[in-house]
């Protein structure tokens, strides 16, 4: 089998008005992502998604389109897509960083490898270790009244666990309001997305301890492992590293500094499925928990997360429900058949490859025609 064409589809999908997402990185009102279809001479194609976010990795959509077209496509054309490891090694050789653009290619190659073998990606990863993946939904850093409206909506939808964004606004008032509404039995975690400085984090974690939070994610900026470790020692709330862990080397640094109790991982952030599994293995060996994070993916990116979550033993899926949530927030996931996302539990698709198909009408509806859709073959 040979790759004949790498097709990129820029899309522009709004977040649903009724769920709004606001974090320390800003308001997320629309997702300017790039879908990838890798075509082959055997008539099958693989699907991937570059969940690009300038505030997260510095990856823009024009930049993502350019690296896929100018750097990745020449390395892929004529190659057998089932050689995922060798092809991803080539991509990593020509470009440092850019995990979300790399992950789009990686997902499409795994999708093709699964379709060629007639098995789901999770089977290629060694098979399921669990049947279901509990989900938590995420409340943005909004005013307390609005946070309660969202908590009510999400619990009505059937979710059993919540995460609340902190950083902008009155965090204590927001967390108090959500905890009082949800009652004592709903696990609640928080995510500051690097939005606190060290003294603020120390003060707020102390003030928030009475609200029985089961984790605090990325309280301070990503690079200071020593400060994160010091903060961890000063609080009883388990610390989760998200922006601090992009690469396996980042994960080792976090372990060496004893800076976190939990790692948030997902294929987009790490440049594909294999590095995600590598980071999960580091966490497991160090005795840390792993949970699935998210950058609000559409259907293909969420499917890749589900295959990893269902197959990787390092995830503590029950204790730390995952962020398999992008389709709950977007106007559309762009799929022909929606993913089975519960609530409260998600399941991984069982069809060949990623097990998802794009809906051509939805793709056209959300295609961003202001950018050139490059198709090189």
Tell me whether residue 41 is exposed, middle or buried, using C-beta atoms within 10 angstroms of its C-beta: 0 to 12, 13 to 18, 19 or more: exposed
Q: How far is the CB of 215 from Mg ion (least distance, A)?
A: 10
- Asked if 49 contacts 190 with a C-beta cutoff of 8 angstroms, the reply is no
Q: Does 242 bind Mg ion (CB under 5 A)?
A: yes
CB 130 within 8 A of CB 155: no
Q: How many helices and strands in the chain, by DSSP H and E? A: 16, 15
Asked if residues 101 and 67 have their Cβ atoms less than 8 Å apart, the reply is yes
Min dist. Cβ of residue 318 to Mg ion (A): 20
We find the least distance from the C-beta atom of residue 143 to Mg ion, in angstroms, to be: 21
Verify binding: residue 323, Mg ion, rule CB under 5 A: no
Select the span of 49-57, 155-163, 185-193, 332-340 touching Mg ion (CB under 5 A): 185-193
User: Which residues ranging from 14 to 43 are in contact with Mg ion (CB under 5 A)?
Assistant: none
Least distance in angstroms from the C-beta of 271 to Mg ion = 17
Contact window for Mg ion (CB under 5 A) among 212-220, 226-234, 311-319, 330-338:
212-220
> In whole angstroms, how close is the CB of 193 to Mg ion at the nearest point?
6
* Environment class of 108 (CB within 10 Å of its CB; exposed 0-12, middle 13-18, buried 19+): buried
Q: How far is the CB of 322 from Mg ion (least distance, A)?
A: 12
The residues in 286-305 that bind Mg ion, with binding defined as CB under 5 A, are: none
Q: Which is nearer to Mg ion, 103 or 334 (CB)?
A: 103
Strand-pair partners of 133 = 346
Give the residue among 53, 40, 35, 4 at the shortest CA–CA distance from 107. Answer: 35
For residues 34 and 234, what is the distance between their CA atoms, to the nearest angstrom? 42
| Site string (71-110) toward Mg ion, x via CB under 5 A | ----------------------------------------
Number of chain residues interacting with Mg ion (CB under 5 A): 3
Nearer Cβ to Mg ion, position 242 or 333?
Answer: 242
Residue nearer to Mg ion on the CB measure, 35 or 262: 262
What strand order describes the sheet that includes 239-241?
137-139, 162-165, 188-191, 213-217, 239-241, 262-265, 289-292
The least CB distance from residue 150 to Mg ion, in Å, is: 17
Q: Which is nearer to Mg ion, 59 or 191 (CB)?
A: 191
Stretch that binds Mg ion, among 64-72, 74-82, 188-196, 331-339 (CB under 5 A): 188-196
Find out whether the peptide bond into 343 is cis, omega within 30 degrees of 0: yes
Q: Which of 106, 111, 171, 191 binds Mg ion (CB under 5 A)?
A: 191
Non-local CB neighbours of 219 within 8 Å, separated by 6+ positions: 192, 196, 201, 205, 228, 231, 239
Q: Which residues bind Mg ion (CB under 5 A)?
A: 191, 217, 242
């Amino acid at each position: 089998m040979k790759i004949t064409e790498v097709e990129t589809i820029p899309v522009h999908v709004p977040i649903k008005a009724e769920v709004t997402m606001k974090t320390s990185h800003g308001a997320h009102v629309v997702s300017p992502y790039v879908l990838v279809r890798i075509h082959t001479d055997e008539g099958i194609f693989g699907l991937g998604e570059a969940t690009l976010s300038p505030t997260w990795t510095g990856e823009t959509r024009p930049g993502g389109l350019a690296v896929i077209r100018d750097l990745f496509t020449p390395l892929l054309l004529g190659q057998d897509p089932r050689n995922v490891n060798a092809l991803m090694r080539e991509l990593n050789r020509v470009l440092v960083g850019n995990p979300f653009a790399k992950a789009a290619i990686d997902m499409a190659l795994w999708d093709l490898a699964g379709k060629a073998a007639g098995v789901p990606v999770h089977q290629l990863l060694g098979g399921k270790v669990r049947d279901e993946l509990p989900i938590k939904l995420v409340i943005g850093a909004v005013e307390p009244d609005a946070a309660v409206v969202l908590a009510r909506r999400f619990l009505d939808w059937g979710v059993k666990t919540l995460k609340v964004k902190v950083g902008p606004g009155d965090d204590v008032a927001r967390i108090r309001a959500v905890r009082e509404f949800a009652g004592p039995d709903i696990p609640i975690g928080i995510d500051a997305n690097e939005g606190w400085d060290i003294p603020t984090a120390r003060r707020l974690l102390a003030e928030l301890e009475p609200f029985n939070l089961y984790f605090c994610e990325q309280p301070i900026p990503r690079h200071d492992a020593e400060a994160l470790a010091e903060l961890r020692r000063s609080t009883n709330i388990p610390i989760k590293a998200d922006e601090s862990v992009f690469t396996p080397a980042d994960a080792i640094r976090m372990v060496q500094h004893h800076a976190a109790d939990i790692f948030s991982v997902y294929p987009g952030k790490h440049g594909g499925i294999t590095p995600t599994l590598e980071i999960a293995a580091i966490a497991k060996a160090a005795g840390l928990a792993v949970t699935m994070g998210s950058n609000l993916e559409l259907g293909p990116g969420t499917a890749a997360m589900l295959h990893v979550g269902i197959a990787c033993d390092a995830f503590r899926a029950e204790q730390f429900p995952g962020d398999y949530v992008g389709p709950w927030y977007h106007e559309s996931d762009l799929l022909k058949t929606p993913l089975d996302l519960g609530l409260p539990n998600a399941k991984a698709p069982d069809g060949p490859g990623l097990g998802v198909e794009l809906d051509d009408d939805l793709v056209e509806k959300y295609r961003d025609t202001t950018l050139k859709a490059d198709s090189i073959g």
